[in-house]
Structure 1
Amino acid sequence: MNKNELIAAMATESGLSKADTEKALNAFISQVGKVLQAGDKIQLTGFGSFEIKERAERTGRNPKTKEPITIPAGKVPVFKAGKALKDAVG
């Protein structure tokens, strides 16, 4: 499912227009990014949580030359599914 299909499905289920649904989805995505940038965590009970994890510096390989390279440390966004979502899926 792509973004347009998600918007259409959400609009059908909520009874909102596609334009309003798209605004709501874009606002959600924007806020998740802003909160994570600030270093905070978002918890949606039953759905899951979004947070930032620190990734340590590590050694990798250049796939073309097979030479070792150093991959710098960094921060990555992580989503952890909640119990209700896990139960619904599997």
Structure 2
Amino acid sequence: MNKSELIDAMAADAGISKGAAKKALESFIGNVGDALGKGNRVSLVGFGSWSVSERAAREGRNPQTGATIKIAAKNVVKFKPGAELDASVNK
């Protein structure tokens, strides 16, 4: 399912216009992104939770040359599914 298919499904389920569903989805994505950018955790009971963790700097290899390269540290987003989501996927 892509973004436009999700918007269509949200509009049909909620009985709202596609424009309103698009605004709602974009607001959700923006607010989750803002919260994670501030280092906060976002939890939706039954669906799952997003959190930010630090990935340490490390050494890697260039696959073309085999040369050692340094990979910088960065923050990564992690998602842990909730019990209801996990149950719906593992029927």
**TM-score, scaled relative to structure 1:** 0.95
Partner of 1:87: 87
Task: Output the CA distance in 2 between the equivalents of 1:43 and 1:6.
Answer: 20
Partner of 2:49: 49
Unaligned runs of 5+ in 2: none
> Quick one: percent identity of the two aligned structures?
49
**Displacement of 1:78:** 1.1
Counterpart residue identity of residue 46, structure 1: G
**Displacement of 1:19:** 0.2
Q: List 4+ stretches of structure 1 deviating above 2 A.
A: none
Partner of 1:24: 24
Task: Output the CA distance in 2 between the equivalents of 1:60 and 1:9.
Answer: 42
Unaligned runs of 5+ in 1: none
C-alpha RMSD over aligned residues: 0.8
Task: Output the CA distance in 1 between the equivalents of 2:29 and 2:62.
Answer: 33
Q: Deviations over 1:4-60 (max 9, x none)?
A: 011001111111110000000000000011001111101100000011011011111
Partner of 1:71: 71
Counterpart residue identity of residue 2, structure 1: N
Task: Output the CA distance in 1 between the equivalents of 2:7 and 2:51.
Answer: 24
State the SS of the aligned residue for 2:66: coil
The aligned length equals 90
**TM-score, scaled relative to structure 2:** 0.94
